């Protein structure tokens, strides 16, 4: 297997992310999202659940619908006009993803069903080859279940051990403990770029460099990153990156696994079927080169095409402008929430994304979330598929308000007012 950490030149230097110099015109931007115009229980929708999924701009909706109206056909398998058009649009989306993440080669972009599918693909492909009995996989205490459970299953199959680096009271990974857990038995390190439960941004490059010094492969869960900031895989220094389209204004059921081409070429496929083969006989099968060896069967064609349009939407708005706007909302939201007596912010990392996770005194998160919904305010209540994070703070659940480019200070004010009413009713 090729050595981990070997990086090709970043494509980002050749194709920089477009940057919009002016601040966002959020009122104008919101007009592109038809779902935001609705009322819920008689109130204007205040949608603050973007870490779970974002709403879709009209351009993405039109792109997906246009495929089904005009170009619906299977890809790579036909010579007729509709198949040719569908294939061209599908592969143009692969190019858009490659540009967006700074891939050195379009063959490094594998379409999947989402972040979870991408991580499970890796866990299946490295089993029996990279990971064996006595080996170790290292994760952190911040991880989503989709970056824990696949590795547990792999360890169970192969006789390996899963270890976890602890987090501190701020919700930051203890980097000294993380580096101390690395050793000659560490074969794979899987870390989140940004915590979905707390918003903590990890110092991925430092962690990847430390892991590579021990010879480990580095996998990054990027689900919470790509809609909010520029992500360049060469700058991250990782070997594999998984993310989902539906968290970045794209359709559900589509995602991406980016991997260094040398590594993908060395990994076996995880599913067998059509499209991923070069030749099949009853005596044996030869497989295609990446990315197609990992894309067995008919893919989510409409989803991939919609993801390409979602990326173009983000580029038109400007990644830098989105980041500045969300940073302002995070600061404003942190200040406003701190005005509520007894409210406890969970996760106060020095570098964090626009996610506000908190508890109310004596009120279960589910009760508060349901009450807010009756005022048209959508937040997430629960353990956020990150039970080890909740355990670290001695909690069963938190309320989570997660922000996107179309959110406003006025919506944060509505949340604060709603929380005060919740406390009056339940307190």
Select from 297, 315, 333 the last residue of a domain: 315
One domain, residues 403 and 262: no
Question: Mean pLDDT of all residues in the chain?
Answer: 93
- Check: CB of residue 223 under 8 Å from CB of residue 1: no
Q: What is the mean pLDDT of residues 273-294?
A: 85
DSSP notation for 379-403: -EEE-TT-HHHHHHTT-S-EEEEE-
C-alpha 253: how far from chain center: 13
How many structural domains are present in the chain?
2
Same domain, residue pair 173 and 68: yes
How far apart are alpha carbons 114 and 199 in whole angstroms? Answer: 20
Residues with active-site annotation: 385
Looking up tokens 């009056």 gives 424
pLDDT digits (tens, 9 = 90+) for 389-419: 999 999 999 999 999 999 999 999 999 999 9
Using left for φ > 0, alpha for ψ between -120 and 50, and beta otherwise, residue 201 falls in beta
Choose between 342 and 79: higher pLDDT: 342
Other beta carbons less than 10 A from residue 251's beta carbon: 22
Are residues 167 and 305 both part of a single domain? Answer: yes
The residue from 282, 315, 348 where one domain ends is: 315
- Do residues 306 and 367 both lie within one domain? no
| 1, part of any domain | no
Domain ranges, residue 93: 60-315
Does some domain include residue 306?
yes
Tell me if 5 is assigned to some domain: no
Paired tokens of 109: 């972009």
- 218, 211 Cβ separation under 8 angstroms: yes
Measured CA to CA, the distance from residue 177 to residue 183 in angstroms comes to 12
Same domain, 25 and 83: no
Nearest to 232 by CA among 274, 184, 198, 193: 193
pLDDT in tens, 118-169: 999 999 999 768 899 999 999 999 999 999 999 999 999 999 999 999 999 9
Q: Residue 45's domain is classified under what CATH number?
A: 3.90.1150.10
Distance, in Å, from the CA atom of 385 to the CA atom of 418, rounded to the nearest integer, reads 25
Q: Same domain for 279 and 403?
A: no
Indicate whether 71 and 171 sit together in one domain: yes
Specify if 102 maps to a domain. Answer: yes
Residues 253 and 182 in one domain: yes
| Ramachandran angles phi, psi of 9, nearest 5° | -60, 140
Q: Return the pLDDT at 22.
A: 55
pLDDT digits (tens, 9 = 90+) for 302-341: 999 999 999 999 999 999 999 999 999 999 999 999 999 9
Q: What is the pLDDT of residues 209-267, one digit of tens each?
A: 999 999 999 999 999 999 999 999 999 999 999 999 999 999 999 999 999 999 999 99
Last residue of a domain, one of 283, 315, 347: 315
- Taking the mean position of all CA atoms in its chain, how far away is CA 405? 16
Q: Cβ–Cβ contacts within 10 Å for residue 126, how many?
A: 25
Residue 8, in any domain of the structure = no
Residues 247 and 137 placed together within one structural domain of the fold = yes
Residue 172 has pLDDT above 70, yes or no: yes
Give the DSSP letter of residue 289: P
Q: What is the CATH number of the domain that holds 239?
A: 3.40.640.10
- Kindly report, residue by residue over 348-401, the tens digit of the pLDDT: 999 999 999 999 999 999 999 999 999 999 999 999 999 999 999 999 999 999
Q: What's the Cα-to-Cα distance from 138 to each of 213, 225, 296, rounded to whole Å?
A: 14, 21, 29
């Amino acid at each position: 297997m090729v050595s981990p950490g070997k990086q090709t030149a970043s494509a980002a230097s050749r194709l920089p992310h477009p940057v919009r110099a002016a601040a966002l015109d959020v009122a104008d931007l919101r007009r592109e999202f038809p779902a935001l115009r609705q009322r819920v229980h008689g109130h204007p929708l205040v949608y603050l659940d973007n870490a779970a999924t974002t709403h879709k701009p009209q351009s993405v909706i039109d792109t997906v619908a246009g495929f089904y109206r005009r170009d619906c056909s299977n890809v790579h398998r036909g010579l007729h006009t509709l198949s040719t058009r569908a294939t061209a649009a599908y592969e143009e989306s692969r190019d858009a993803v490659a540009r967006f993440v700074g891939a050195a080669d379009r063959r490094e972009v594998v379409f999947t069903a989402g972040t979870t599918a991408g991580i499970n693909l890796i866990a299946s492909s490295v089993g029996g080859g990279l990971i064996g009995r006595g080996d170790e996989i290292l994760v952190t205490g911040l991880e989503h279940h989709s970056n824990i459970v696949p590795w547990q299953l792999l360890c169970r199959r192969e006789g390996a051990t899963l270890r976890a680096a602890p987090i501190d009271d701020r919700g930051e990974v203890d980097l000294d403990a993380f580096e101390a857990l690395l050793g000659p038995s560490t074969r794979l390190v899987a870390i989140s770029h940004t915590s979905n439960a707390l918003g903590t941004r990890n110092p991925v490059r430092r962690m990847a460099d430390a892991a590579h010094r021990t010879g480990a492969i580095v996998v990054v869960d990027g689900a919470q990153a790509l809609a909010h900031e520029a992500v360049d895989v060469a700058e991250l220094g990782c070997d594999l990156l998984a993310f989902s389209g539906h968290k970045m204004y794209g359709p559900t059921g589509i995602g991406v696994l980016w991997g260094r081409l040398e590594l993908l070429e060395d990994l076996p496929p995880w599913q067998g079927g059509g499209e991923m083969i070069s030749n099949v006989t009853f005596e044996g099968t030869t497989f295609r080169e990446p990315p197609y060896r990992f894309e067995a069967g008919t893919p989510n064609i409409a989803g991939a095409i919609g993801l390409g349009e979602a990326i173009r939407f983000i580029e038109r708005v400007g990644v830098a402008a989105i980041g500045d706007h969300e940073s302002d909302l995070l600061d404003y939201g942190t200040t406003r929430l701190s005005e509520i007596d007894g409210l406890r912010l969970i996760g106060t990392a020095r570098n964090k994304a626009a996610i506000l996770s908190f508890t109310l005194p004596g009120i279960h998160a589910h009760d508060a979330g349901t009450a807010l919904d009756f005022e048209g305010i959508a937040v997430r209540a629960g353990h956020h598929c990150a039970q080890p994070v909740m355990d670290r703070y001695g909690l069963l659940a938190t309320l989570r308000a997660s922000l996107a480019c179309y959110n406003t200070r006025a919506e944060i004010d509505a949340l604060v007012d709603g929380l005060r009413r919740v406390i009056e009713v339940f307190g």
